[in-house]
A and B are shown apart, each in its own frame.
Chain A
Amino acid sequence: MELSNDLGNLPSAGSETKKTKETFQYIVIKLGSEDFGIDINYIDNILRMQQITRVPRVPAYLKGVINLRGDVIPVMSLRLKMGLPEDEIGRNTRIIILKIESEGSVGVIVDEVREVVTLTEDQLEPTDEGKGPEAGRFVSAVGMNGDQLISILDIATINLDDN
């Protein structure tokens, strides 16, 4: 966690430094067929899928609450939040616990956690805001790791309660 100094996962466009390229680390997760990246600074923990206690009368993407070392943590479905089909819980399903300063911890369900990648700023291409499909709302940039495309998730947007 020694890397990027700010919480934003986007380097300012057209930043100059060539000598020491700023690098960012992302955990690459899979949702459906697409790869997404989550800034490693937000990640508190990665858990295997476990029993989630349903909370009645909340939006569908809020799957419920789990017990994380004695704390009750809400868990949401990233798929539902992003307008993708319902999760298919399998062997690789994981809950990623994100720690967001202003809002506390929240777990997100992902299909699979693949790897950790390090990208330099010139490997990141900011997306136009508010453009693209439903899922695009939550993507702040696209990272190119060789021929792999990684949509970088804007955690702040995901956690914004838009109900």
Chain B
Amino acid sequence: MDVSQYLEIFLDETNEHIQNLNTQILNLEQNPEDSDTINEIFRAAHSLKGMAGTMGYKRMQNLTHDMENVFSEVRAGNIKVGPDMIDTLFQCLDAIQEYTDNIKNTSDEGTNDNEPLIKLLNNYLNGDSAAKTPEPSKAKEEKSKDSGSGDAADKWNSIKFNDSQIKVMKEAVKSGLGVYGLNIKVKESCILKAARAFLVLKAIEEKGGEIIISDPPSQDIEDEKFDLDFTLIVLSEGSVNDLIKAAADVSEIDKVVGAAIDVDAIRLDDEEPAESAEESAAAGPVPAQPAQTEAQAPARQAVSPTASNAKPGERKPAKPIVNRTIRVDIEKLDSLMNLVSELIIAKNSLVSASGESASGLNSDFNEKIEYLESVTTNLHESVMKVRMVPIENTVQKFPRMIRDLNKKLGKKMELYMTGEDTELDRTVVDEIGDPLMHLLRNSADHGIEPADVRISRGKPETGSIFLDAYQEGNSVIIEVRDDGNGIDVDAVREKAISRGIITAEQGAAMADKDIINLLFSAGFSTAKEVTDISGRGVGLDVVKSKIEALSGEVSVKSVLGEGSTWTIRLPLTLAIIQTLMVVVGGEKYAISLGSIETIETIPENDIKHVENKEVINLRGQVLPLIRLNELIEIESKPPADGNLIVVIVKKGDKMAGIVVDELIGQQEIVIKSLGRYIKQVKFISGATILGDGEVALIIDTNALL
């Protein structure tokens, strides 16, 4: 069977399941008894197994199968979840991840059988778990072991017959037919289970058997909605052995057991379960006591993941609640976005054309243009929203990571996340994972102190790391915060000097804030000892460049002894922004509206000088003044009335005033790259094409501050 075309879907879904499992197992660690979580884990493991099986990845299938088995037991209450088990489960996830990665890279799952893990899992299933589980289930388990593969051979006894079925059976007996229960188990390696099952059903019918009941229902069997075995109630003239042989002759069938059913013993009403019930039931294919049907069903569920009891859980993922989403190739969205950009440029040119033509000539025309404007703006927003995904997918893996770090570093810490539903452009979300991971590791490794130090400092023993995401205006802020040690500015200063990043004099003159920013320079690592978690010195500078590549920025605030806050600010959209168009020296420039606080008119003689630099006092706040014309090296025409037009821009808590000649107004623009030839200019973030076809440059005020 050629499954290569499904590879991508397989990888996608596998990753989702792994992620889900990670989250759920973490949950389980907190609430070991939570049945919803256990069910969810069981389902995810089951789906993984099914997918791996379909794709022919045997090793992955084996491992997931055993995980599923363990969870089946947990679900039934036969095994208690302990910390060691959680560890094992996480190791299993890592192993599955490894398979997945291998598959992704080479289309092959690799050769690691993960025997030790499988053995561990089986230990839970066997000896270990039995000791931990309460008496009755222990008894059951042993019995199930006795019966060989751990499967109940006589599952037909656990089928609950309804009145009409009983009637049919009784009538069959009267007319001399045998009523037989059959349990057919297909081989684990079997890929086309449904096809094998179908052949079995056919073989039985050819032998003159009439299948009156099947569990799961025949429709489900055809749809492959069963685990490894299924149970049939068959009416036949022949002997049960004929039926068993017919079924067993089908290839890839592992085992077939069958026995006659004592129809007379079946009663219409429930009865008290007899004490001896279990004995006889577990003894194997003997005429069972139908009276126990009721009592046995729950007991059986405890024993193994059978088709019948796995079903209720399985069904949910198989039939998802009406899924109204589709997967779309990101390239298609890119081209859609490009078209929207073109449309906005075209719209802008219409707007400027209408402005040039004799105004008032046709007010109707202007109305139409305004309408067009609102449509294109909405269209842009919609397309943008389509590209937005919650950062959830990216941050989901972090609780697990912190948990692992807990153990690895021997520290106690807890990760609290908020705003996982905050949305960002898909491309940004894909890229933001690594920088965030680095910051979190950094907090865990360098920030949070060992428990004894924390106690001596009067802090709670368990350190807290916070990951908060929220939208602010046109940006998304992601904060990584910890209540750890904070940044030791003097240590950073010393280090920077010893590394030759700054001279001793520079170090002495630099403000703490600037010293802290040195952390983002290449080749810096303050950890006293280098661990494999962070501190390879290739960290924060990479974080910074990665975030800047996404047109974002990263900053840090820290109080020694109290903790640090790393703030990442990312633009909501990369392609189209609202700007203020200004004129300097006859040239047009765009300034992103997102960074503009206010626009002020300042009399030229209000300018003061501090350290030979121009500043203004704006409502009690002293702001540096930036002459844009000096920056862009052009003659500016002096203001006629002695008043300067100053655009107040903001970056975090830093503000500055930018002097411009003229304001044109607000405009929605499409950002275009300046290309590879021109990239030296730090404060120019790109260019845009104006309505009249002219190119205007975009001033990156963040680079000015």
Stretch touching chain B among A13-21, A52-60, A117-125? A52-60
Q: Which of B345, B633, B693, B695 contacts A65 (CB 8 A)?
A: B695
A40 to B: closest C-beta gap in Å:
22
Q: Is the CB of A58 within 8 A of B676?
A: no
Q: Return the chain B residue nearest A161 by Cβ.
A: B677
Q: Cα distance A105–B345 when bound, in Å? A: 21
Q: Cα distance A104–B672 when bound, in Å? A: 14
A residues in contact with B106, CB < 8 Å: none
Q: Is the CB of B675 within 8 A of A105?
A: yes
What 1/0 flags go to B614-635 for Cβ under 8 Å of A? Answer: 0000000000000000011110
In the complex, chain B residues 338-352 whose Cβ is within 8 Å of any chain A Cβ:
342, 345
B residues in contact with A56, CB < 8 Å: 631-634, 681, 684
Q: Cα distance A70–B345 when bound, in Å? A: 8
Q: Which of A51, A53, A57, A74 contacts B675 (CB 8 A)?
A: A74
A86 to B: closest C-beta gap in Å:
17
Q: Cα distance A156–B677 when bound, in Å? A: 13
A residues in contact with B696, CB < 8 Å: 53
Q: Which of A67, A71, A74, A104 contacts B694 (CB 8 A)?
A: A67
Q: Is the CB of A67 within 8 A of B693?
A: yes
A152 to B: closest C-beta gap in Å:
23
Instruction: Report which residue of A53, A66, A73, A161 has the largest number of chain B beta carbons within 10 angstroms of its beta carbon.
Output: A53
What 1/0 flags go to B644-670 for Cβ under 8 Å of A? Answer: 000000000000000000000000000
A residues in contact with B587, CB < 8 Å: 53-54
What 1/0 flags go to A28-56 for Cβ under 8 Å of B? Answer: 00000000000000000000000101111
Q: Cα distance A156–B631 when bound, in Å? A: 32
What 1/0 flags go to A60-79 for Cβ under 8 Å of B? Answer: 00101111001111101000
Q: How many A-B residue pairs have CB under 8 A?
A: 70
Q: Cα distance A37–B40 when bound, in Å? A: 71
Q: Which of A53, A55, A159 contacts B681 (CB 8 A)?
A: A55
Q: Is the CB of A65 within 8 A of B680?
A: no
Q: Cα distance A163–B676 when bound, in Å? A: 14
**Total chain A interface residues with beta-carbon distance under 8 A:** 25
In the complex, chain B residues 675-690 whose Cβ is within 8 Å of any chain A Cβ:
675-678, 680-681, 684, 687-689
The bracket for how many chain B residues form the interface is 20 to 34
Q: Is the CB of B689 within 8 A of A58?
A: no
Q: Return the chain B residue nearest A54 by Cβ.
A: B587
Interface membership of A162, Cβ < 8 A? no
Q: Cα distance A72–B389 when bound, in Å? A: 30
Q: Is the CB of A53 within 8 A of B687?
A: yes
Q: Cα distance A103–B631 when bound, in Å? A: 28
Interface membership of A106, Cβ < 8 A? yes
Q: Which of B345, B633, B695 contacts A66 (CB 8 A)?
A: B695
Interface membership of B130, Cβ < 8 A? no
Interface membership of B674, Cβ < 8 A? yes
Q: Which of A62, A66, A105 contacts B678 (CB 8 A)?
A: A62
Query: What are 20 A-to-B residue pairs whose CB atoms are below 8 Å?
Result: A51-B694, A53-B687, A53-B696, A54-B587, A55-B684, A56-B632, A56-B633, A57-B633, A57-B680, A58-B681, A62-B678, A65-B687, A65-B697, A72-B672, A72-B673, A72-B687, A74-B678, A104-B677, A105-B675, A161-B677
**Which A residues lie at the B interface, using CB under 8 A?**
51, 53-58, 62, 64-67, 70-74, 76, 103-106, 159, 161, 163
